[in-house]
Amino acid sequence: MKDISGTALLGPLAAMVIVALLVALTTPRFLEAGNLSNLVLQVSIVALVAIGSTLVIFSGGIDLSPGSAIALLSMVFAVMVKLVGIDFWLALIATLALGALLGSVNGFVTAYLRIPSFITTLAALSAFKGLAFLFNNGSPVFQVSPLLEPIFYGHVFSLPLPLVYVILAFGAAHWLMRYARLGRCIYAVGGNPRAAHLSGIDVRRTQFLAFTIAGLMAAAGAILMAARLNSGSPNYGAGLELQAIAAAVIGGASLAGGRGHVLATLLGALTITIVQNGLNLNGVPSPLQSIIVGVIIVIAVGIDMWRVELGRAFGRLLPARASTPVHKEGA
Binding site for other proteins (CB under 8 A): 1, 4, 175, 178-181, 184-185, 187-188, 190-192, 194-202, 254, 257-259, 323, 326, 328-329, 331
Which lies closer to other proteins via its Cβ, residue 146 or residue 319? 319
**Cα 184 to Cα 59: distance, rounded to the nearest angstrom:** 10
Of the pair 231, 254, the CB lying nearest other proteins is at: 254
Task: Go through 52-65 and write b for each residue having 16 or more CB atoms within 10 A of its CB, e for each that does not.
Answer: bbbbbbbbbbbbbb
Question: In this complex, which beta carbon is closest to other proteins, that of residue 1 or of residue 113?
Answer: 1
Find the shortest distance in angstroms from Cβ 8 to other proteins.
12
Q: Nearest CA to 144 among 86, 100, 99?
A: 86
Min separation Cβ 109 and other proteins, Å: 22
Let me know if 25 is exposed, middle or buried by CB neighbors in 10 A (0-12, 13-18, 19+).
exposed
CA dist 43 and 19 (Å) reads 15
Q: How far is the CB of 325 from other proteins (least distance, A)?
A: 11
- Give me the half-sphere count of Cα atoms (radius 13 Å) on the Cβ side of residue 240: 31
Q: Check if the beta carbon of residue 59 is closer than 8 Å to that of residue 186.
A: yes
Dump the DSSP string for 234-252.
TTTTTTHHHHHHHHHHHTT
> Do 109 and 262 contact (CB within 8 A), yes or no?
no
- Minimum CB separation of residue 208 from other proteins in Å reads 15
> What is the DSSP pairing of strand 155-156 with strand 159-160?
antiparallel
Q: Which is nearer to other proteins, 34 or 200 (CB)?
A: 200
CA distance 278 to 273: 8
Q: How far is the CB of 3 from other proteins (least distance, A)?
A: 11
Output the smallest distance, CB 114 to other proteins, in A: 16
* Contact in structure between 47 and 168 (CB atoms under 8 Å): no
Nearer to other proteins, 29 or 184 (CB): 184
Cβ closer to other proteins: 199 or 286?
199
**Angle of CA points 288, 294, 296, to nearest 5°:** 105
99 burial type by CB count under 10 A (0-12 exposed, 13-18 middle, 19+ buried): buried
Smallest distance from the beta carbon of 34 to other proteins, in angstroms?
A: 40
Residue placing its CB nearer to other proteins in the complex, 82 or 204: 204
Which is closer to other proteins, CB of 234 or CB of 257? Answer: 257
Which residues fall within 8 angstroms of residue 65, CB to CB, at 6 or more apart?
Answer: 102, 106, 121, 122, 124, 125, 128, 218, 241
* For other proteins, the closer CB: 145 or 324: 324
Q: How far is the CB of 193 from other proteins (least distance, A)?
A: 9
Give me the least distance between CB of 203 and other proteins, in Å please. Answer: 10
